[in-house]
Amino acid sequence: MKFNTKTIHGGQQHDPSTGAVMTPIFQTSTYVQQSPGKHKGYEYSRGENPTRHALEKAFASIENGSHGLAFASGLAATDCVLRLFNSGDHIIAGDDLYGGSYRMFTLLFSKYGLKFSFVDMNNPENVANAITDNTKLIWLETPTNPLLKVADISAITAIAKANNLLTAVDNTFATPYNQRPLEMGADIVMHSATKYLGGHSDVVMGALMVKDDKLAKDLHFIQFAAGAIAGPMDCFLALRGVKTLALRVQRHNENAQLVAEFLNKHPKVETVYYPGLESHPNHEVAKSQMRGFGGMLSFRLKDKSKETTFKMLENFNVITLAESLGGVESLVNHPATMTHASIPAVEREKLGITDSLTRLSVGVEDVNDLIDDIANALKLV
């Protein structure tokens, strides 16, 4: 099956009890048993639910994995991965991570004795140099949030394999339409399905996809034992979203490329961060591992004052000022005060998440309306 067919049919079957074409919302916590321990494979919905099951199969299919798991949020999915490890284990992560991942690593899991190193993954050598005897996992996000840095997935998974380490990739920004890390040697793919997989800004959900049976079993145990599952209604909505993933991402890719090129030529803009621009420092790596460059971009105005950037942000009409990303509607965000506020100011400055940085999730509206909206907001500053 090709990708665009998988988004619609991958792992799906019509409901065997009624013939319903779409898997119904099985809003039930429990299931009848004919005799104690004798049942149809469903006992209690923390363990198994048919709507979640259908979605998890779709998740596995679109990342070309053999198992998928659906969680209450993207961070609940990340939490499940980290619970594979023991006190004293060491994890290498990128230095430009989603703020919530960074917060979980440094403020939550460090309490339980997990050790973290944050390195610039633009250069795979930095990863190799950070490996210690206790290293167990490489946590990779590419392209990164918010600076759209690109890491060479195959080069990093090769280093991981040579050192017997697992690699997990947060593939939220790219989506499996553009990039499939399991095919490049990664062991685990993580998604905030809140974003492109759901695609309509109406669900908070997380996903894990793997291809190894033993790893799937361990993750399923944690999902069941810790309990951060996705509910049936949300699973139905996410499954509905996945069916149009290919169509949406094609348009996100096209629109973001045009918006990036427009911004890149604009006299008031200093830098545009988008892997689809030839000026992006890792454009060649991006081209080699991505089918398209995604709907996310960031940019920095020449006028570095917070007031000027805020003025622009207050003057969009079509584009909405809000956290989150990946929905059909365009959203704009000020990382330093919104999504990335949990990163200490000193760290933020070092990384380049300063007051002049704006992040844009380019939606699937008519691109001319988006460009007019940006042009107008920039005229006012």
Question: Whole-angstrom Cα distance, residue 3 to residue 6?
Answer: 5
Q: Which of 49, 51, 61, 172 binds ligand PLP (CB under 6 A)?
A: 172
Tell me, by CB under 6 A, how many residues bind ligand PLP.
Answer: 16
Cβ–Cβ under 8 Å, residues 273 and 147: yes
Distance of CA 190 to the CA centre of its chain: 7
Residue 368: phi and psi, rounded to 5, are: -65, -35
Footprint of ligand PLP on 92-111 (CB under 6 A) = 98, 100-101
| 74 lines the binding site for ligand PLP (CB under 6 A) | yes
| 82 lines the binding site for ligand PLP (CB under 6 A) | no
Question: Whole-angstrom Cα distance, residue 174 to residue 377?
Answer: 27
Question: Whole-angstrom Cα distance, residue 364 to residue 256?
Answer: 9
| 73 lines the binding site for ligand PLP (CB under 6 A) | yes
| 175 lines the binding site for ligand PLP (CB under 6 A) | no
Q: Give me the active site residues, please.
A: 46, 98, 170, 195
Distance of closest approach, residue 325 Cβ to ligand PLP, in angstroms? 6
| 231 lines the binding site for ligand PLP (CB under 6 A) | no
Region near ligand PLP per CB under 6 A, out of 8-16, 147-155, 191-199, 371-379: 191-199
Footprint of ligand PLP on 15-34 (CB under 6 A) = none
Checking DSSP bridges between strand 296-301 and strand 320-321, what pairing results, if any? unpaired
Cβ–Cβ under 8 Å, residues 70 and 207: yes
Distance of closest approach, residue 269 Cβ to ligand PLP, in angstroms? 23
Q: Residue 92, CB half-sphere, CA atoms under 13 Å: how many?
A: 25
Question: Whole-angstrom Cα distance, residue 247 to residue 112?
Answer: 43
Distance of closest approach, residue 75 Cβ to ligand PLP, in angstroms? 4
In the complex, the residues that contact ligand PLP under the rule CB under 6 A are 73-75, 98, 100-101, 141, 145, 170, 172-173, 192, 194-195, 204, 206
